[in-house]
Amino acid sequence: MARLHEKFMGEYGFKEGDVVRIRGMRPTGAVLGPPVKSGSDTRIIEIDGRIRHNAKTSLGEEVTVAVTTAQIAREMEVMRDPESEPLDWFDATKAKEDFIRLKSPNVIRVGDLVFLSVRKRAHPFRVMETDPEGFVQITHATGLRIVY
């Protein structure tokens, strides 16, 4: 989820629930959450570390934000980060349910980093493929293929 100052949202026509493309050094997606109502800097975007990582940006750097669309993903393929600790047991169905519950509504695209729950710990996976392509939202109906 991303949050913008209410004055900025009003000035540029953004609404809570909009799907937005956030571009740092690479584009990623997010859903706009409730507007920020306080603070003097109206041009700040609040995003979590995963979105910052996927946009290849850091705190204090400029990004562009634009409304976009995201289709519902029919399929998603993810691959374990090869530098992560090995997994000796993995329940893909539970991992997908946890991912949806913890991150919904979420918007991803190929190349993004996502976290799946394994034994109550978040483990990094890279999105390798989505059907359809482009920005997609993950739902309970989305098929999940995991490459180890």
pLDDT in tens, 88-118: 666 666 666 666 655 545 799 999 988 877 6
* Predicted TM-score (pTM) of this structure: 0.82
Q: Per-residue pLDDT tens for 11-39?
A: 999 999 999 999 999 999 999 999 988 87
E strand or H helix that includes residue 135: none
Tokens of 26: 């690479």
- Percent of the chain exceeding pLDDT 90 equals 51
54 phi, psi to nearest 5 deg: -65, -30
Q: Which domains does the chain have, with CATH numbers?
A: 2-67 (2.40.40.20), 71-147 (3.10.330.10)
Q: Is the Cβ–Cβ distance between 98 and 92 less than 8 Å?
A: no
